[in-house]
Copies of this chain bind each other. A is one copy, B any other.
Amino acid sequence: MEQLQYQEGRTEIGQLGKVALIDRLTDEFKTKNKSTVTGVGDDAAVLGTGASKTLVTTQTLVEGVHFDMMYTPLKHLGYKALAVAISNIAAMNGQPRQALVSVAMSNRYSVEAMEELYAGLRLCCERYDVDLVGGETTTSRAGLVITVTVVGQVDKEKLAYRSGAGLHDLIFVSGDLGSAYCGLLILEREKVTYQANPNFQPDLEGFDYVLERFLKPEPRMDIVKLLAEKEVVPTAMTDVSKGLADSLLHLCKASGCGCEVYEEHLPIDYQTARVCSEMSKNMLPVSCALNGGEDYELLFTVNQRDYDKIKDLKEVHIIGHITEQGMPAVMVTPQNTTIELRAQGFQGVRE
């Protein structure tokens, strides 16, 4: 019988890293269907031969990796599982239309638990006009794994890839950054205290905003709508799921350019700053913004001629500009020091 383990020439996934792994695994796949416009490597695949393109994306959340049942209400989890997949459609400047949901769960989960999960999914479906059209429930040996596929639609001329940023384009980001990660930090802190003393009543008061940011993120479909209203098509776009640094690096790599963003322009909520100061003196809000994750904001670039159309929108913030090919992605501090960005992004609770 063939055994699983390869003792010889074994390379740990961690040695290679997730991005390099998927590059290596998919390197030899060639696309040949004329309906395949773009495949692996952006927030969603782009399909179809007409002027209206179909977008497809899939996103998996794993118990103990992306969520902890200790502090994740199942209704929130269902909502979030769909929300983060919709965010990938938003990141292409598209509209979500349909979803397929596959749930693998151990026998620890009851019918009532599944109903909670699906209540959250339904809420998100209703909020974002998404139709549930398929999927399955299946058994797992341990824990809960949810995979959501979302199908979306976008007109060809509105499509925003990661790869379209041009020299001197302006870099915008929606909402604020780092708050979801701070929500996670609070939940993890209270969990540790609770585990040490089960009579302890967790104190989550005053943290509503950061907790909601982590437990129940909203895909920024409102930004997609605003951009359409202002008749602005981003030259490039992606969502911020693993920290701003990671998203900027992906966008710059895909577009073949560098960038400069300004620390003092990064949008950071006061609650994020408060959590950081409570946690540790060494913890800087800007680190949460750059390397925290799960914000699901939109990062996009626009041509300078579009600046006036969106400069007054309170929902988006200009944070920098694109520099030429060969230049690094950097952040400029208020002291005018230049720091090269690296991807240290967290990838879920424990990943």
Task: Tell which of B6, B16, B32 touches A129, judged by Cβ atoms closer than 8 Å.
Answer: B32
A108 to chain B, nearest CB (A): 7
**A340 on interface, CB distance cutoff 8 Å:** no
A137 at interface by CB-CB < 8 Å: yes
* B40→A132 contact, CB < 8 A: yes
Kindly state the separation between the CA atoms of A3 and B347 in the bound complex, as whole angstroms. 24
Report B-chain residues with C-beta under 8 Å of the C-beta of A268: none
Interface size class of A (residues with CB under 8 A): 35 or more
Q: Which of A132, A147, A351 has the most CB of B within 10 A?
A: A147
Q: Residue A168 at the B interface, CB < 8 A? A: no
A29 to chain B: closest CB distance in Å?
Answer: 4
Q: In the assembled complex, which residues on chain B have CB atoms less than 8 Å from the CB atom of A47?
A: 54, 97-98, 133, 151
A140 proximity list for chain B (CB < 8 A): 62, 65, 143, 145
Interface centre among A15, A71, A112, A142 (most CB of B within 10 A): A142
A336 close to B (CB within 8 Å): no
Q: Given that A33-B98, A56-B98, A136-B22 are contacting pairs, would A111 and B16 also be in contact in the complex, using a CB cutoff of 8 Å? A: yes
CB contacts (< 8 Å) of A58 on chain B: these are 58, 100, 102, 134-136, 147, 149
Per-position contact with B for A123-134: 1 when CB-CB < 8 Å, else 0? Answer: 001000111111
Which residues on B sit within 8 Å (CB–CB) of A190?
Answer: 1
A39 touches B133 (CB 8 A): yes
Other A-B pairs beyond A44-B134, A147-B147, 7, CB < 8 Å: A2-B71, A10-B111, A18-B137, A22-B135, A28-B122, A31-B133, A47-B97
